Amino acid sequence: MSDTMINLENVNYEYKSSEGEFMALKGINLEVKKGEFLVVLGHNGSGKSTLAKLINALLLPTNGKVYVNGMDTTDEEKIWDIRRTAGMVFQNPDNQIVATIVEEDVAFGPENQGIEPREIRKRVDKALEIVEMTKYKKHAPHLLSGGQKQRIAIAGILAMNPECIILDEPTAMLDPTGRSEVMKTVRKLNKEQNKTIVHITHYMEEAVEADRIVVMEEGQIVMEGTPRQVFSQVDKMKELGLDVPQVTELAHELKKEGIDIPEDILTVEELVRAL
């Protein structure tokens, strides 16, 4: 058994439209290990969402290969296995919720997979427990907050028991409370459920706890490393039009003023200790 969950080999993706052709991804090579928490950063148009859709076989590469747990996404017979292995959570939870009662919504995926009812019941209860939404199981989703809806969307993916979860800017439409609820859930899935996480975002604070960060710009991977390695390159991040966590920037400015502290500070506690 390989310990690689996702592998992209020289992947190009070209959008064709009436205006002409647009290369959204150029020569992407990326390997994601099982159990890894990978964050993909980059601003709009950098190719992040295209990358997500390729991993879930919603798009197929123009050139190159995408493998999910060893399965080639261009192999039509494997498409359901691939989507079962890598579940996708989108930006807008309203587009993912299909039922009028929370627990029925979470059961929708496993029902479609033809899982037997007793097992579905167990999975739904477990998924709601993991995202801490058990007490809302009889509620109507449209009455919930954005963060709660997104946690229900995540529960719906969890009930299908994927090994890998791809989150395509899942907090973009949420307020700070909703955002932290969703991030807490994502961390828990990674640490406690050992799910491989590919989290696509443009919020730098969400990237701090990742195992690894990949930064995309104009369809290419331009930086890669641990959060410390990436965020300590403050000037390079700024050149790409991206921020770094506020505390990292503060440390960077203090260092420029001649205060002797490390470059790779990520949290307020670390900065306090260093000072």
Residue 269 counted as domain residue: no
Question: What type of residue is 156?
Answer: G
Q: What would the two tokens of residue 23 be?
A: 């290369």
Residue 257 counted as domain residue: no
Per the CB < 8 A criterion, the answer to whether 163 and 84 are in contact is: no
Compute how many other C-beta atoms are within 10 angstroms of the C-beta atom of residue 71: 17
**Computed over its alpha carbons, how large is the radius of gyration of the chain?**
20
- Helices of type H across 32-96: 48-55, 79-85
Residue 175 counted as domain residue: yes
Range of the domain at 112: 4-244
Compute how many other C-beta atoms are within 10 angstroms of the C-beta atom of residue 83: 19
Distances (CA, A) of 106 to 46, 129, 138, 223: 32, 12, 11, 37
| Longest CA span, the chain | 65
The CATH number of whichever domain residue 150 belongs to comes to 3.40.50.300
Residue 272 counted as domain residue: no
The helix-helix angle for 176-191 and 146-158 (nearest 10°) equals: 20
Residue 61 counted as domain residue: yes
- Give the HSE-up count for residue 228: Cα atoms under 13 Å, Cβ half-sphere: 6
Which residues in the chain show pLDDT less than 70? Answer: 1
Pairing of strands 86-89, 164-168: parallel
| Secondary structure class of 197 (helix, strand, coil) | strand
Residue 55 counted as domain residue: yes
Number of domains making up the chain = 1
Residue 150 counted as domain residue: yes
Per the CB < 8 A criterion, the answer to whether 176 and 147 are in contact is: no
pLDDT for position 55: 92
Residue tagged 């029902």 (tokens): 111
Residue 57 counted as domain residue: yes
